[in-house]
Structure 1
């Protein structure tokens, strides 16, 4: 079977769990050498072990520019280029208008907007002409959700990045697309409900009831979509927002 990412060099930020880890595994299966980042060393080491020999872990917080500089210095020394960049790291939390704090705003925008911006900008010298950049969007960027406005605004900003960056990068034929999952059963999703298992399941059931397919998604389903955007199968897909949401935001 032909590997869709054979001999490619890929980076997945936030690759220690959930969608990021699933994508890194898929990229490796498809033949890529994969660099994954994470903020916690123990989780990073476990992810590298799970991905396999083609994985390299780099401890980094994408909201810290010095960490990004160190990441790209290592990639430059070891690989010399980047063919696929999946700016996946991010997160959010629930707070309704009237209770939003400066800390919540800064944490969300530092990870989801500042982190994405500088993850991409600092990668530019290493990105190969014709490379694929994938930005982590969300159905929240086009839907209204109570107490989730800060996260939603951050994902709308990410979508705007893609539309503009394809113009900045057109001379290099670098594609930039947004991959927007719906509700996916990841640690980050269930943790929004708190530590109680019953509350976590209640959240999953509530979200599943809103999805035409009748269930939440699996991280590997998003990883498969990421492989498509990363590969030559998507050679004429540029500036798009690909929803992998079971129909959640399409009704």
Structure 2
């Protein structure tokens, strides 16, 4: 099979000419690095005023400079409903509405059945599921009619991998939660969807808990080889999908899951 490492790459500046979010306010959780930062920068390029929430004040400052003038950055522990409420109260004092939100903050903890501990399990679910739910709950009064929420799932929620019990189960739960929340807010004119990224070219492997030394690189290579397109996705490619679902172009789409995974959940790569 052809190595498609360079297939589908494009000049990312093309998106700069579009202004789908001009005059809108868009929020990104986990917006200080990786997929969240890529989405936040993409929203800003298309005219949005961007609000980011993340845990680390230092990373938030650096991210704000990359995103651009007018960025609102709020530090919060997104595993805590109380901290989420405080952060959203701070945001509500600075903006009158949120037009689109990418609820992206997540935590990965890979441990086997025998090695899993309660603290790791709870942290994964507290951020990936509980945190995402309570961000959505707190955002609801701020969401403008016609607004959109996009969650960040994972192929790990669809494909079984040894050691991925907590992370995979949390992402599967989040995908189902998306459908439930889409139904709950449809009467308010708010759409709720989820992107399902596959292996992405970020530092998450290096930050994944429970891996042995050097395990991050090995995991990235396993993911690449298990992807039919034989490459990792770029954060900007996921951002394209997020912005599509958050825009009026997806005005008739809600409760949907959009894979951005190089074919990982669509078919099995041939060994040829």
Deviations 1:26-57 (Å, cap 9, x if unpaired)? Answer: 01101111110111111110110111113111
Contact 2:195 2:242 in 1 (8 A): yes
Does 1:121 find its partner at 2:137? Answer: yes
Alignment of 1:129-208 (within 5 A): 129-192=145-208, 199-208=215-224
Unaligned runs of at least 5 residues, structure 1: none
Alignment of 1:100-111 (within 5 A): 100-111=116-127
Contact 1:13 1:88 in 2 (8 A): yes
Partner of 2:23: 7
Quickly say closer, same or farther: Cα 1:210–1:97, change in 2 above 3 A: same
Contact 1:190 1:204 in 2 (8 A): no
Partner of 2:238: 222
Deviations 1:195-248 (Å, cap 9, x if unpaired)? Answer: 96x654333222111111110111111111111111111111110000000001
Following superposition, the deviation at residue 128 of structure 1 comes to: 0.8
Does 1:233 find its partner at 2:233? Answer: no
Structure 1 moving runs of 4+ over 4 Å = 193-196
Give the SS at the match of 1:186: coil
- The whole-number CA distance in structure 1 between the counterparts of 2:70 and 2:104 is 19
Aligned CA-pair RMSD: 1.5
Deviations 1:66-117 (Å, cap 9, x if unpaired)? Answer: 3222222222221111111111001111111122111111100000011001
Give the SS at the match of 1:100: coil
Unaligned runs of at least 5 residues, structure 2: 1-16, 268-272
- The whole-number CA distance in structure 2 between the counterparts of 1:2 and 1:180 is 24
> Is 161-170 or 105-114 further displaced after alignment?
161-170
Partner of 2:34: 18
2:226 is aligned, of 195, 198, 210, to 210
Task: Tell me the TM-score normalized by structure 1.
Answer: 0.95
- The whole-number CA distance in structure 1 between the counterparts of 2:139 and 2:132 is 11
Task: Tell me the TM-score normalized by structure 2.
Answer: 0.88
Partner of 2:11: none
- The whole-number CA distance in structure 2 between the counterparts of 1:40 and 1:142 is 30
Q: How many residues align?
A: 250
Give the SS at the match of 1:99: coil
Contact 2:109 2:121 in 1 (8 A): no
Contact 1:22 1:219 in 2 (8 A): yes
